[in-house]
Amino acid sequence: MKLDRRTFIELSVGFSVGAGTGILLSPVNWKLMDDMTIWSQELWPRYQLGGLKGQLPQRGEVTHVDSVCTLCPGGCGITVRKVGDRATKIEGRAGYPVNDGGICILGAAGLQLLYGPWRVPGPLRRAGQRGAGQWEQVSWEEAIAEAVKKLAALRGEGNAHTVACMLGSDRGTVPQLFARFMKAFGSPNLMRTATAEDTYELTLGLMQGVTSSVGYDLERANFILSFGSGLIEGWGSPVRVIKAHSIWRSANVKERATVVQIEPRLSNTAAKADRWYPINPGTEGALALGLAHVIIKESLYDDNFIRNHTFGFENGTDATGKGYMGFKRLVLTKYTPEAVSRMTGLSSSKIINLARAFARAKYPLAVWGRGKGTMPGSVYECMAVHALNALVGNINRPGGVWARPKVATQGWPEVSQDATAWTGYGMPRLDGAGTKRYPLTGHRPERLFQMASEKPGAVEALLVHEADPYYTTLDSQAVARAFENIPFVVSFSSYMDETAHHADLILPNHHYLERWEDCPTPVGLQKPLLGLLRPVVAPQFDTKHAGDTLMTIARALGGTIANAFPWEDYEGLLKETLADQWDTLEETGYVEQAGYTPPAWEQAFGTPSGKFEFYVSAFDQVGMTMRKDVGYLPHYEPVKPEGDAALYPLVLIPTDLMRLADGPVGNPPFCTKTLEETELKGNDLFVEVNPETAADHGLSEGQYATLETPKDTAKVLVHLFEGIMPGVIGIPKGLGHTGYDDYLAGKGVNANSLLGVVEDPISGLCATWGIRAKLTRV
């Protein structure tokens, strides 16, 4: 048969129609399609749910465990809901003295940190290059033996003092164990991260002669004057302060307070405040003194307190017959509203009105510590703000500033040192803290790294516990150089943070939900409180309590070092140390002194004069003789940001966000997810620029730009924000991680790398509030 084109088409069509009809009539297709549907639905859980293996989250007995959160120094009580042996939710503990049921964003995401892949699975020894992320998993015996070998060798060489230790805090039994270890081992170089709390402690020491932390009676204050404190951005104990903020915002007129925020940028605190006064960054101290001027000039101060309980308000002569200038004279001559207006950029009338409103309020309270209070800041600035509190007589008063005694003793036996320890411990500290130049300061963490980077051999070993100096220290590049000069770094971190990532040995601590530990009074709380962490879940990985690890190392080192740790294990030590409080702690989870009141003015001040000192005579006592009288008084000494104004026309300030953890704990994925579209896009970070400034630099919304400071350069995105002062750039702190894993690492820029360290002349701590910068279009 001849198959022409026509026949071919006819046959083809006929065949197709026939086949189509056949297929449609056959049940096979329908059956297959149905099977496909079922199969694909079943396939989904099996293949897509990762570890779930097609199962829903397992059910089990529901229980609740109370503990304390230590993700920040806020020390909130938490209640963890458990299903079987799994922790499924962290909630604020109802009735806990700090947070009464509330929880912050970071605390609520704590389980992501517990179960996350950023946990250190067990003791690790570096296998490849430093920071390359190549690790060898070793046994605890091996890991501890390695640490002991290195430490014993250094000690044998007479280099015990070259071992430094960096802690996140010095309160509680575990930091005290590290301190004890350093003393028994023979090194004076115990460091810890410094914050605004240190500066306020120093101020209380100088002006009130007490060894106390600052406590604010926020709940009873009714006029809150904040010098840049991020009251709702994580300052102090975050949940407690946010709760106080709600009292201030209460619809109840009796409770309602006035909040005034002084800050160059419209932070959330500024946005919520009754009044926001943007001033030139770094001039907060000048404004405080300008307000003091008005209060003194118009006699609005607390006459009883000033007259009977203060020293150095008026001019006078001291015990040696030397005449001195009083605070009143200094303030009246140098800080007139007009002069202060020129420094701060705030109009004289606003300064005068603010001063009057503050002084006339029933419970005025001036609070200090920029942002979350993570940077120590200037001592004179803190003194100036504290002087405002003194002027209105709110020291140790309801709604005022309370000096909360620091309890340092644990009741442990004295450490007996052998000759090596005695020699090593007696060596000068590398950071110069406690020396003639900085007699008042206990730790200068930034200086340690400067020394290490300048002098190879100065630090031969570094132990790091509950801190991430590699990430959090300003001038990151200098810190990286310092690490290159430290041959042996041991991290006790639970997480693969930046410091752990650049360590030689990781001896991972139990996570805070896996261990027993004491949690002393949270930052900024006015009443003493002791909380207890208890294991919520069994250790998820091959970790060991840092206290036990340290004691094991000590025992292996032998001799007097071993003798300094007579306890069997950390839990035993904790029970013994907390002694008569233990039963209450174990039962209720905390011990509070609800009825605590600070001492009355007659007994409150341990200064040479026995009074609150505007004129700080303690400076002479510690050998810090000032050239001029003004040096003894709260005054404005500008902290100049690094960089040449001609090269760097703008000023970069770090900004603190409640949704972004910027301390030693990395931001969990839930929190990073909540960042705004104008904060992070992909892996690029936005900096805030005023539209006016942006126009001057030819920049528009969403554009890439190069941000350059004397310390570092970064590629950023521009976000136009009307709420930031022209000429100022805001950069969020807490991104730019390299540790953890890619849920956090590689996102944004680490603000700390763009900033540098400016030393405070009194404390030697980091007084940086910003740096000069340049922003150019890419």
Partner 1 sequence: MKEAHHGEGDEKTYKFGMVIDLDKCTGCGACMVACMAENNISFRKDETDKLRSNFWMRVYKISNGLPFPDTEVSYIPRPCMHCEGYDHHHATPCVSVCPATVTDYNHETGIVSQIYTRCFGCRYCMAACPYHVRVFNWWDPRWPKGMEKYLNPDVSVRMRGVVEKCSFCFHRYQRAKNKAYAEGRRELREDEYQTACTQACPAGAITFGDLNDPHHKVYKLKKDPNAFRLLEKLGTNPKVYYVSTTDWVRKASDAYTGKQGEGVTPG
User: Which residue from 606, 610, 723, 761 is in contact with partner 1, where contact means CB under 8 A?
Assistant: 723
Q: 140-156 and 546-557 helices cross at what angle (nearest 10)?
A: 50
Min dist. Cβ of residue 738 to partner 1 (A): 15
Min dist. Cβ of residue 118 to partner 1 (A): 9
The single-letter code of the amino acid at 385 is: V
Q: Using the rule CB under 8 A, is 312 a contact of partner 1?
A: no
Restricted to residues 619-658, the positions that interact with partner 1 (CB under 8 A) are 658
User: Among 731, 733, 720, 722, which residue's Cα sits nearest to residue 658?
Assistant: 733
The single-letter code of the amino acid at 687 is: V
Tokens of 609: 């004069």
Q: Using the rule CB under 8 A, is 733 a contact of partner 1?
A: no
Min dist. Cβ of residue 741 to partner 1 (A): 8
Draw the binding track, 525-544, toward partner 1 (x: CB under 8 A; -: no contact). ---------------x----
Residues 6+ apart with CB under 8 A from 317: 323, 324
User: Among 412, 413, 411, 415, which residue's Cα sits nearest to residue 560?
Assistant: 415
User: Which residue from 50, 323, 595, 623 is in contact with partner 1, where contact means CB under 8 A?
Assistant: 50
Q: Using the rule CB under 8 A, is 669 a contact of partner 1?
A: yes
**Interface stretch with partner 1, choices 18-26, 302-310, 316-324, 668-676 (CB under 8 A):** 668-676
**Interface stretch with partner 1, choices 64-72, 304-312, 616-624, 685-693 (CB under 8 A):** 685-693
Beta strand pairing status for 135-137 and 124-126?
antiparallel
Q: 327-334 and 284-297 helices cross at what angle (nearest 10)?
A: 110
User: Which residue from 67, 70, 99, 208 is in contact with partner 1, where contact means CB under 8 A?
Assistant: 99
Min dist. Cβ of residue 675 to partner 1 (A): 7
Min dist. Cβ of residue 72 to partner 1 (A): 13
**Interface stretch with partner 1, choices 53-61, 306-314, 495-503, 583-591 (CB under 8 A):** 53-61
Q: Using the rule CB under 8 A, is 671 a contact of partner 1?
A: yes
Q: Using the rule CB under 8 A, is 371 a contact of partner 1?
A: no
**Interface stretch with partner 1, choices 173-181, 264-272, 527-535, 619-627 (CB under 8 A):** 264-272
Question: Binding-site residue total for partner 1 (CB under 8 A)?
Answer: 80
Min dist. Cβ of residue 409 to partner 1 (A): 34
Strand order in the sheet with 517-519: 517-519, 529-533, 590-592
CA distances from 301 to 9, 84, 287, 325, 349 (A): 106, 61, 17, 19, 19
| DSSP 8-state secondary structure symbol assigned to residue 631 | G
Q: Between vectors from CA 304 to CA 301 and to CA 305, what angle results, nearest 5°?
A: 75
Phi-psi group of 634: left, alpha or beta (phi > 0 → left; psi -120 to 50 → alpha; rest → beta): beta
Restricted to residues 396-435, the positions that interact with partner 1 (CB under 8 A) are none
The single-letter code of the amino acid at 91 is: E
Phi-psi group of 559: left, alpha or beta (phi > 0 → left; psi -120 to 50 → alpha; rest → beta): left
- C-alpha 224/C-alpha 675 separation (Å) is 28
User: Which residue from 742, 776, 777, 778 is in contact with partner 1, where contact means CB under 8 A?
Assistant: 742
**Interface stretch with partner 1, choices 263-271, 383-391, 401-409, 560-568 (CB under 8 A):** 263-271
Min dist. Cβ of residue 341 to partner 1 (A): 15
Q: Please name the residue ranges forming H helices in 163-267.
A: 173-185, 196-208, 238-248
User: Which residue from 212, 417, 543, 672 is in contact with partner 1, where contact means CB under 8 A?
Assistant: 672
Min dist. Cβ of residue 127 to partner 1 (A): 21
- C-alpha 62/C-alpha 296 separation (Å) is 61
**Interface stretch with partner 1, choices 324-332, 367-375, 681-689, 698-706 (CB under 8 A):** 681-689
- The CA-to-CA distance between both ends of the chain, in Å, stands at 75
Q: Using the rule CB under 8 A, is 722 a contact of partner 1?
A: yes
Nearer to partner 1, 60 or 428 (CB): 60
Min dist. Cβ of residue 680 to partner 1 (A): 5
Draw the binding track, 197-236, toward partner 1 (x: CB under 8 A; -: no contact). -----------------------------------x----
User: Which residue from 205, 215, 238, 376 is in contact with partner 1, where contact means CB under 8 A?
Assistant: 238
Q: Using the rule CB under 8 A, is 46 a contact of partner 1?
A: no
Tokens of 233: 């951005």
Min dist. Cβ of residue 491 to partner 1 (A): 21
Task: Determine the 3-state secondary structure of 539 from DSSP.
Answer: coil
Restricted to residues 274-303, the positions that interact with partner 1 (CB under 8 A) are 276, 278
Contact of 583 with 60, CB cutoff 8 Å: no
With helix as H, strand as E and coil as C, how does 345-389 read? CCCHHHHHHHHHHHHHCCCEEEECCCECCCCCCCHHHHHHHHHHH
Residues 6+ apart with CB under 8 A from 98: 74, 75, 76, 77, 237, 239, 240, 522, 525, 529, 531
Min dist. Cβ of residue 89 to partner 1 (A): 6
Min dist. Cβ of residue 682 to partner 1 (A): 6
Contact of 233 with 658, CB cutoff 8 Å: yes
Element (H, E) at 137: strand 135-137
User: Which residue from 101, 539, 649, 702 is in contact with partner 1, where contact means CB under 8 A?
Assistant: 101
Restricted to residues 241-260, the positions that interact with partner 1 (CB under 8 A) are 242-243, 245-246, 249, 251
User: Which residue from 131, 608, 610, 726 is in contact with partner 1, where contact means CB under 8 A?
Assistant: 726
Nearer to partner 1, 567 or 670 (CB): 670
- C-alpha 544/C-alpha 494 separation (Å) is 10
Q: Using the rule CB under 8 A, is 598 a contact of partner 1?
A: no
Min dist. Cβ of residue 264 to partner 1 (A): 10
User: Which residue from 130, 297, 681, 697 is in contact with partner 1, where contact means CB under 8 A?
Assistant: 681
User: Which residue from 2, 59, 436, 627 is in contact with partner 1, where contact means CB under 8 A?
Assistant: 59
Min dist. Cβ of residue 690 to partner 1 (A): 6
Which residue has 């150089």 as its token pair?
481
| DSSP 8-state secondary structure symbol assigned to residue 510 | P
- C-alpha 588/C-alpha 532 separation (Å) is 9
Q: Using the rule CB under 8 A, is 677 a contact of partner 1?
A: yes
**Interface stretch with partner 1, choices 480-488, 523-531, 676-684, 704-712 (CB under 8 A):** 676-684
User: Among 187, 194, 151, which residue's Cα sits nearest to residue 170?
Assistant: 194
User: Which residue from 163, 266, 296, 325 is in contact with partner 1, where contact means CB under 8 A?
Assistant: 266
User: Which residue from 22, 27, 51, 411 is in contact with partner 1, where contact means CB under 8 A?
Assistant: 51
Nearer to partner 1, 271 or 778 (CB): 271
Contact of 427 with 239, CB cutoff 8 Å: no
